[in-house]
Chain A
Amino acid sequence: MSNADARPAQGHIEVKDFALSYETIDGAVAAVTETNIHVKPGEFVSIVGPSGCGKSTLLNAVAGFLKPTAGVVTVDGEKVNGPSAERGMVFQQYSLFPWKTVRENVEFGLKMRGMDRSQRERAARTLLGLAGLEAFEKHYPDRLSGGMKQRVGIVRALATGPKVLLLDEPFGALDAQTRVIMQQILTNMWQRLKISVLFVTHDIDEAIFLSDRVYCMTARPGSIKAEIPIPLERPRQQSMMMSSEFLALRRGLMSLIREESLKAMGGEINDLAMQGLTIDLHGHSLADVL
């Protein structure tokens, strides 16, 4: 899908010479170092990396929850100084307000902006309709399934018309089937709204399937190990996940992450030493199994 001509000039994320460290009694501990990333207006960019690599830290800094120790985060040239409705966020834990109905959750951002009741009710209904949730507008989140909760979470983040959408492993808690559906829904919404997306995940398939570009991070302290453009054409179909192109990208990313995950686990496993082992596991050597 070539929507280059229709792309808005809004939502350009720029993270420059970024570093973030925590103060502890033993001194500063670096979580993220020397990181440069950007998201062009309307682009879908993912960050993948081994667990604990600081990808969520980076996202939280873009959201404005964490202040960088060095470097700067800007959106459309404006420095990020704290959380704001300009940057919508979707959390892994859904984070819907349990005391508000589905519609009240979606209305929240509009209410904060001072929109009057009937207007924001209408806006929320329209948005919920787009996500196939109109029948549940009066339900409390407690009564929704995980996938529905996260759909509400995404709709709520989009309701205020943010410049960028930040997602922190939004589908991590969902089962595989629901996750595929959610990916499709997110793609549809993104294509319709042409909003810039920064998406954090540890799922390589998800990152490739959704993104225009993928950043791969190193183990802690995190920095950018590689930047991989995803040239797969859009709209993307599930069938693409079996294409040689997809699988090649997957293999490449997989080996990058594997390297880093092993580092994160504290030292690399010595493959040579493994080959010396003669433990028989149903006809496979331990080295093969690992």
Chain B
Amino acid sequence: MTSSALLRREAEPAAIAADTAEPTRAMPTPALPARSASAMAARWIKLNKERIRALLLGTISLLLFLVAWHFLTKYRVVFFVRFTNVPSPLAVHASFVKAIHDPHFLMHIALSCRRIFLGFSLAALIGVPLGLVMGRFKLVHETIFPVAEVLRPIPAIAWVPMAIMLWPTNEQSIVFITFLGSFFPILVNTLHGMSLVDPVLVRAAQCLGAQERAIFREVYFPASLPHIFTGLTVGMGVAWVSLIAAEMISGQYGIGYFTWEAYSLVQYADIALGMITIGVLGLASSLLVRAIGKLVMPWGRT
């Protein structure tokens, strides 16, 4: 502090009162009086310019993709890659309309979702607590981490033969592979989150009378949550990759199996339909994880 600053303050002792003088970001800015609905609409557009632009560009880009796809397949372009047998967007649309009335197709989707749900939930239920405990207790970390490091680089697909040997049913081995795919990203990110917990916050909690268990629950866990959710989002993506591979190799049913089967049965439109379905399901589940994250962490900063 400089004494000149103090001098300046001296002139207005009333400003010392606790709740004046400090500008804050939290204060609501006074709203301009809105004259009419059209003025309000204009303001809304001005405020949301960025979002509107992004939405517009996104739509245009998707449309352009469809148009390009349409013409490439319509004229059966052969230019390094061959579009000779590639189904057109309209053909895919037709098979989609047929498929949504077909209980088999819906069952494929339901089964894949079930496998994802089981494998991913198991990974989260084991990975998050394990990561928290490993992050808190050095001894556990030193014991388990080497094994995890050796197993981690093995892609889930490489586990397929082993999984078939390990588990009595096909279904179990597919869930196991989905589990493996999402387990490591979840574990590693949880560990990372734990390693970044601000020690000053732990001290602050101790000064307020918090004991070990309370510190774990009130400080370590919430402080790691943003990274835990990063792990869950990444884990969800890898879960789909692993699931589709497992379904294609060892599966009966499931959307990955559907896609592979379409190829075997020379139903080219169904290949694209399967692929798009996988994309949409993967996107939806990632969005779901993110939405849950926002719900669990209302303080933002993610």
Contact = CB atoms under 8 A, between A and B. Distances in A.
A147 B298 CA distance: 23
Contacts of A206: 1
Given A89-B204, A112-B210, A205 B6 contact: yes
A64 B209 CA distance: 12
Contacts of B297: 99
B223 A99 contact: yes
A68 B91 CA distance: 79
Given A185-B18, A205-B3, A145 B23 contact: yes
Size range of the interface on B? 35 or more
A139 B9 contact: no
B138 to A, nearest CB: 18
A184 to B, nearest CB: 5
Size range of the interface on A? 35 or more
B207 A88 contact: yes
A241 interface: yes
Interface string B1-34: 1110111111001011111011111100000000
B6 A238 contact: yes
A160 B209 contact: yes
A113 B209 contact: yes
A65 B203 contact: yes
B24 A148 contact: yes
A99 B222 contact: yes
Contacts of B18: 131-132, 151, 181, 185
A216 B44 CA distance: 59
A136 B24 CA distance: 11
B19 A132 contact: yes
Contact of A145 (B2, B24, B222): B24
A45 interface: no
A205 to B, nearest CB: 5
B214 interface: yes
Interface string A69-113: 000000000000011110111010101111110000000110011
A144 B21 contact: no
B122 interface: no
Contacts of B200: 91, 93, 95
B1 A176 contact: yes
A60 B99 CA distance: 68
B205 interface: yes
A177 B7 contact: no
**Most A Cβ at <10 Å: residue of B9, B26, B204, B297:** B204
**Most A Cβ at <10 Å: residue of B2, B21, B207, B223:** B207
A97 B207 contact: no
A157 interface: yes
Nearest to A157: B207
Contacts of A64: 206
A91 B200 CA distance: 8
A143 interface: yes
Give the 4 A-B residue pairs with the shortest CB-CB distance, closest first.
A132-B19, A85-B209, A132-B18, A176-B5
Interface of B: 1-3, 5-10, 13, 15-19, 21-26, 198, 200-201, 203-211, 214, 218-219, 222-223, 225, 297-301
Interface of A: 63-65, 82-85, 87-89, 91, 93, 95-100, 108-109, 112-113, 131-133, 136, 139-140, 142-145, 147-148, 151, 156-157, 160, 171, 176-181, 184-185, 203, 205-206, 237-239, 241-242
19 contacts: A63-B203, A65-B206, A85-B207, A85-B208, A85-B209, A87-B207, A91-B203, A95-B198, A100-B299, A151-B18, A176-B1, A176-B2, A177-B5, A177-B8, A181-B22, A203-B1, A206-B1, A237-B13, A242-B7
Given A63-B207, A113-B209, 17 more contacts: A83-B206, A84-B209, A85-B207, A85-B209, A88-B208, A89-B204, A93-B198, A97-B218, A97-B219, A109-B209, A112-B208, A142-B299, A145-B23, A151-B18, A171-B1, A177-B5, A181-B15
